[in-house]
């Protein structure tokens, strides 16, 4: 079969968007409309003639609407192979009429869960008849069109369908029921049964955009978002200008936003990221002050970088950012002055994220490996002053303690092995992704000295700084490199078999050191 003329349509939708217009278009072409409950009521209110499903089946809707379409008069009309003689005879013998179009969208299960409904209400929003009709129609797409998305109403409003459209609609329909079942199974396992890692894990995702290529031009890529759930973050950001984002842009912008979100309740903060690692982070009295301090940490790496801020972007900050080439700027919002400044930079992408994501949210992260996937809880661990244990003879001053916590927060978002020097609410040097902690400490110190030379400062900002290590110092050499760089305070997890040796070295150097009891590996 190729083109099919629609003579009878069955409509049963939860989302009534565009329903009246579709009904009018079909009725104008002589299509018989069959419907259920609220959908039939909405069509009648639009002035349309509608046949109730109960009239078609000979049975009333019953059991609070749980049973209405689960009937041979419905599914026989959907599943019959029209040019099969035996099927045609069965239809004639039992008075089953063909159904050429099914328009169904399912009970709002995920939305019901998202609003915090009680268990009984969640259960009642598990659709049974809807998915059954969707699957029947989609299986028999050679003869039946199935529409599950109001955005596709235009494909059937003409009163006929093509085989190409029916194939496309069937594929979309099976994807929708798969996502729906995955959401339900996920709720039962994780919410109802409290299983963090259930025996079977299905994650319904919807493609939001294709990217020009993956990490490299020979790779392909796309952005997916959780199906049926409103989310926050880079994936949900609104892009105001600039060319489409690449895979790397998304990845780096996400890294920047995740880190700046740690400061969403703090003073104006700016994060500059390059290759998923922060190269400059700073707080200030204003965003522009914070930007200038973050840029000064590593102005070389900042070129072509990604910037995230924790406040609505203003004109002066936009002017400052425009001083060097920047790929992406992410902000909760932007005023008209900032938008006007960036409008002159056609290659710069401006992303407005709305509320920043909660850094303490409990989600899962997924990484593919050969032959499988690694799933873990997101690193939402945080450390407060009360959690810190002073292990040296000298306790940190209030200023040192503030710098320790700032450096520790940044180190959480730096690739391991991570070393971060910080002073006065700004990073002084960042050492990332090295195979040993000593080299990370040396690289971070070297970067701080290079920044001082470029800025014309009398000394690098590592002098009098606090240094954070994402994991314990296995030997004293990494700590001694920090001493050589001028650090006066240290924050680290502790837990090494050589902790006593490291503490002894810190005491000998007059350092203050605190243990967090928590590490932040990031691979």
Active site residues: 139, 275
Q: Is the peptide bond before 90 cis (omega within 30 degrees of 0)?
A: no
Place of tokens 């790929």: 327
Residue 398: other Cβ atoms inside 10 A: 8
Sorted by sequence, the CB contacts under 8 Å of residue 485 that are 6+ apart come out as 421, 429, 441, 444, 445, 448, 460, 462, 463, 465, 467
The SS3 assignment for 350 reads: strand
Q: Which long-range contacts (CB under 8 A, 24 or more apart) does 164-169 make?
A: 166/4, 166/141, 166/142, 167/141, 169/138, 169/141, 169/145
Sorted by sequence, the CB contacts under 8 Å of residue 116 that are 6+ apart come out as none
DSSP state of 67: B
The SS3 assignment for 479 reads: helix
Residue 65, token pair as written in the block: 């609407």
CA distance 142 to 390: 73
């Amino acid at each position: 079969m190729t083109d099919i003329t629609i003579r009878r349509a069955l409509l049963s939708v939860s989302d009534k968007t565009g329903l009246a217009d579709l009904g009018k278009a079909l009725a104008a072409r002589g299509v018989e409309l069959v419907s259920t409950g609220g959908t039939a009521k909405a069509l009648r209110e639009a002035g349309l003639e509608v046949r109730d499903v109960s009239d078609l089946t000979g049975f009333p809707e019953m059991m609070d609407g749980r049973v209405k379409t689960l009937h041979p008069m419905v599914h026989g009309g959907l599943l019959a192979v029209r040019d099969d003689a035996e099927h045609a005879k069965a239809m004639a013998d039992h008075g089953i009429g063909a159904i050429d179009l099914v328009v169904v969208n399912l009970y709002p299960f995920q939305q019901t869960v998202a609003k915090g409904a009680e268990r009984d209400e969640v259960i009642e929003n598990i659709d049974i008849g809807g998915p059954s009709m969707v699957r029947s129609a989609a299986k028999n797409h050679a003869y039946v069109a199935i529409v599950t998305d109001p955005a596709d109403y235009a494909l059937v409003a003409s009163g006929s369908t093509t085989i190409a459209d029916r194939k496309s609609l069937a594929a979309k329909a099976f994807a929708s029921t798969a996502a729906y079942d995955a959401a339900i199974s996920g709720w039962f396992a994780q919410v109802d049964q409290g299983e963090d890692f259930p025996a079977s894990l299905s994650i319904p995702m919807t493609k939001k955009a294709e990217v020009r290529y993956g990490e490299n031009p020979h790779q392909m890529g796309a952005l997916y978002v959780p199906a049926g759930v409103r989310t926050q973050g880079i994936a949900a950001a609104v892009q105001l200008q600039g060319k489409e984002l690449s895979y790397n842009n998304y990845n780096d912008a996400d890294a920047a936003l995740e880190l700046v979100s740690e400061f969403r309740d703090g003073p104006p903060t700016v994060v500059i990221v390059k290759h998923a690692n922060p190269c400059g982070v700073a707080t200030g009295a204003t965003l522009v002050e914070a930007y200038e301090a973050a840029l000064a940490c590593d102005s070389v790496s900042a070129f072509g970088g990604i910037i995230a801020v924790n406040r609505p972007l203003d004109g002066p900050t936009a002017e400052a950012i425009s001083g060097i080439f920047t790929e992406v700027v992410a902000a909760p919002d932007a005023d008209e002055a900032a938008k006007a400044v960036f409008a002159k930079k056609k290659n710069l992408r401006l992303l407005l994220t709305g509320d920043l994501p909660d850094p303490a949210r409990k989600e899962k992260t997924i990484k593919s490996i050969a032959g499988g996937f690694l799933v873990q809880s997101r690193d939402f661990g945080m450390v407060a002053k009360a959690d810190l244990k002073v292990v040296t003879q000298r306790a940190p001053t209030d200023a040192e303690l503030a710098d320790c916590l700032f450096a520790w927060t940044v180190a959480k978002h730096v690739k391991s092995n991570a070393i971060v020097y910080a002073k006065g609410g700004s990073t002084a040097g960042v050492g990332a992704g090295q195979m040993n902690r000593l080299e990370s400490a040396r690289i971070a110190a070297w970067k701080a000295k290079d920044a001082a030379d470029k800025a014309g400062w009398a000394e690098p900002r590592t002098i009098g700084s606090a240094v954070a290590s994402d994991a314990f110092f296995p030997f004293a050499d990494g700590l001694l490199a920090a001493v050589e760089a001028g650090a006066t305070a240290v924050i680290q997890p502790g837990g090494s078999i050589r902790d006593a040796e490291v503490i002894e070295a810190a005491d000998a150097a007059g350092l203050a050191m605190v243990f967090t009891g928590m590490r932040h590996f990031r691979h």
